[in-house]
Amino acid sequence: MAANRAMINPESTELPAFTFRFEDAEGNPIDPTNIATDVTVIVEINDDNDWEYFDALYIGLGYVPWAGGRDAATFGATSLEYTYSLEGKSGEILLHIVAYNHNRARMDQIVTLNFQPPETPVIAERFAPTGVWIYSLTKDSPIEFYGLKETAGSKLASKELHLDELNGAPVEGNIFVQIAWDAPATSTDIVGYNIYRSDDGGLTYKKVAFRTGDYGFDHGIGIEPGKEYFYKVRSVYSDGSESGDSNVVRMVPLDIFKVKLVSPANRATNVSRRPIFRWIPTDKEDPTKAPVLGGGLIDENDIYYGYYLWIYDTTQSDGQHIVPDDEFYTFGPSEVSVQFLDPSYDWYYFVMGDWYYYFFDGLEAYKTYEWGLDYAYAIYYGDDEDGDGFEDWISLAVTIDWGYGIDRWVNEPDYYNRFTTGEGY
């Protein structure tokens, strides 16, 4: 048992005290040293007052669980139940019960479970997964908290990914990687899948996750933008053996970028009532340089940049927003220039909770507005090397997203420009 020191320096008596029970499907007690059936693990807090120190509880069989990978979890509750199948388990396996208090002090209690399954049938043939697919998200602020929720099928477009429970990620991490695959048509005796990653060009691989479903994710530790990674997946069988490799997917996470709002400049006056809005993507640290998102491994002109422009009326008490009907885009990090009421787009304004077609011939004279981007992202679609009709990998970098779902979380703009119109066009 180990506890990380918290700011309030808790004594051992202040840590949660747990009891454990192991039961079969009928609720009968099971000896954890001789488990011959499916087993339900029941973890409870001994003292009713201990919940004051208790925030999160994870359990993991055969590994140390965390927020991004666990068999079960509970938050702010006093008990947890989870049933483990006997299938595919044999011999002594360590059950980790990891608890956190509100100051993130951590306790890992370990219980040895000894599984005694019936004799494993001989597996005649093993089948590898196919259609491995990678989705990478890089954002310009720490991810901090996440947990993945599967939607329909393993092949998900970037906007079809969803997050359910927001619970944990690497400190200061800003890269999220999902791996999905197609299960073999013959799945008898398959108990899960091992995910492997290589960062040396595919020469050596290390296992980064085991999952029972047809998707998983890499927690992001050790992953850097603009670097090359390779992923593969193997089926795991009930006797502990693996299949051969799936298809191997090469993936490059994009680096982040910033957006410089060029004109109208902040605090500009006598601005045209049909102003030309100009902005440009820049390097994340040097606004005078163009961003390089692919680390030299991707043709930068093949990266799609998408933006959505908003104009804010600063004098409306309820807020009036003026927007085009579609996003602006470039291939490669180019400056964007668009004149207000450009006829290539329909323009609308939002006021008092409703949308209206903007039928005026320009902005109001002598009025103060703010403008900026409500989302800005870059995306690259990899090749379809395995020929299954889907890109093998997608890399996305998001610098702004005010809740449009391109980023998995809200990603606030760095700033807006305020300007005041004049009389003329």
SS3 for 316-341, per residue?
Answer: CCCCEEEEECCCEEEECCCCEEEECC
Candidate ranges 179-188, 329-338, 386-395; pick with highest mean pLDDT: 329-338
Residue 73 forms beta bridges with which residues?
Answer: 58
CA dihedral 94, 97, 98, 100 (to 10 degrees): -170
**How far is Cα 282 from Cα 304, in angstroms, rounded to an integer?**
15
Q: What is the pLDDT of residue 47?
A: 59
Q: What is the pLDDT of residue 159?
A: 36
Q: Is 5 helix (H, G, I), strand (E, B) or coil?
A: coil
- Cα 251 to Cα 177, 179, 193, 395: the distances in Å are 10, 11, 20, 8
**Percent of the chain having pLDDT more than 90?**
51
Question: Which has the closest alpha carbon to 312: 371, 366, 262?
Answer: 371
Choose the weakest-confidence range: 23-32, 47-56, 273-282, 350-359: 47-56
- Cα 178 to Cα 70, 144, 147, 403: the distances in Å are 16, 16, 11, 21
Q: What is the pLDDT of residue 193?
A: 94
* Cα-based angle 224, 134, 73 (whole degrees, multiple of 5): 85
For residue 5, what pLDDT band results from cuts at 50, 70 and 90?
A: very low
Q: What is the pLDDT of residue 121?
A: 67
Rg (CA), the chain: 27
Measured from the Cβ of residue 60, the count of other Cβ atoms closer than 10 Å reads 19
Choose the weakest-confidence range: 37-51, 56-70, 164-178, 211-225: 164-178
Of residues 103 and 186, more confidence is placed in 186
| pTM of the predicted protein model | 0.68
Q: Give residue 109's identity as a one-letter amino acid code.
A: Q
263-288 average pLDDT score: 96
Choose the weakest-confidence range: 67-71, 86-90, 150-154, 415-419: 150-154
For residue 220, what pLDDT band results from cuts at 50, 70 and 90?
A: low
Q: What is the pLDDT of residue 40?
A: 93
Q: Is 276 helix (H, G, I), strand (E, B) or coil?
A: strand
385-403 average pLDDT score: 90
Of residues 294 and 66, more confidence is placed in 294
Q: What is the pLDDT of residue 118?
A: 74
**How far is Cα 280 from Cα 271, in angstroms, rounded to an integer?**
20
**How far is Cα 309 from Cα 150, in angstroms, rounded to an integer?**
31
Residue 209 has pLDDT above 90, yes or no: no
Q: What is the pLDDT of residue 7?
A: 42
DSSP string, 192-251: EEEEEEESSTTS--EEEEEESSSEEEE--TT--TT--EEEEEEEEETTS-B------EEE
Residue 168 has pLDDT above 80, yes or no: no
Residue 147 has pLDDT above 50, yes or no: no
For residue 153, what pLDDT band results from cuts at 50, 70 and 90?
A: very low
259 close to 279: Cβ distance less than 8 angstroms: yes
Residue 60 has pLDDT above 80, yes or no: yes
Residue 43 has pLDDT above 50, yes or no: yes
Question: Which has the closest alpha carbon to 376: 338, 333, 346?
Answer: 333
Conformational region of residue 366, where left means phi above 0, alpha means psi within -120 to 50, and beta covers everything else: left
Q: What is the pLDDT of residue 376?
A: 97
